[in-house]
Amino acid sequence: PYEQKLEEFSHFVYRDNEAEKFNGKWNQEVFQNNFPIVAEIGSGYGEFMLEYCQNHCEINFVGIDYRFKRSYQLAKKLSELPHPNFRYLRAKGERLQFLFGENEVSEIFYFFPDPWPKTKHNKKRLFQIPFLKACHHVLKNDGIFWIKTDHDKYYEWMLEELSKQNYFTIELQTRNLHEEMPEHFLALYKTKFEKIFLKKGTHTKVLVLRNKKNVT
């Protein structure tokens, strides 16, 4: 039922592969401006998207998630915002390189992804070399990739994957964002999940990566 309900917001919600026709043409055909494009992979309940895109009207925000009910609930909230500087994609992060053209995105946000904690499920984790390659492709040179996770083992996995690649340099890393960098903008925006984790005493782990186009 939520798939059908999303049709109500078809002026800013694109489902499945609908958005892939805009690959390389988001500024011209969708937003019709030259503002920087930022993408959030896994927008979840939308706390970050709702607040950030309204605090930054000088950007074009593209949120991405795949769950129908959650997407519909977020779309209802987005429809009430005064500044329409956003689009929402009911799509998978694995399709990133099909959604955006080369050098089309200025920043990527990737907050509290599913850690797939069981060892037999680790292979389902999105954060692997093919995903990093896709992010490298769509990001501009010197574009920023912002990452937050509560999961210690997934954080270690990310560091291991980063040791295998030469697409990004690590600009910042911390295992305790809110105690070590309480004034950092990543600490000022807290998602629904993050608030729950913090109440339980779980630290927020952060990686900030800078894209480098002059490497292979």
Confidence of residue 105 (pLDDT cuts 50, 70, 90): very high
Q: Which H/E stretch holds residue 110?
A: strand 105-111
pTM to 2 decimals? Answer: 0.94
Mean pLDDT of the chain: 93
Distance separating alpha carbons of residues 3 and 106, to the nearest angstrom: 30
Confidence of residue 215 (pLDDT cuts 50, 70, 90): low
> Which has more confidence, 64 or 192?
64
Give catalytic residues, as residue numbers: 114
- So what's the pLDDT on residue 116? 87
Q: What's the whole-number mean pLDDT along residues 136-147?
A: 97
Q: Which H/E stretch holds residue 89?
A: strand 86-90
Confidence of residue 9 (pLDDT cuts 50, 70, 90): very high
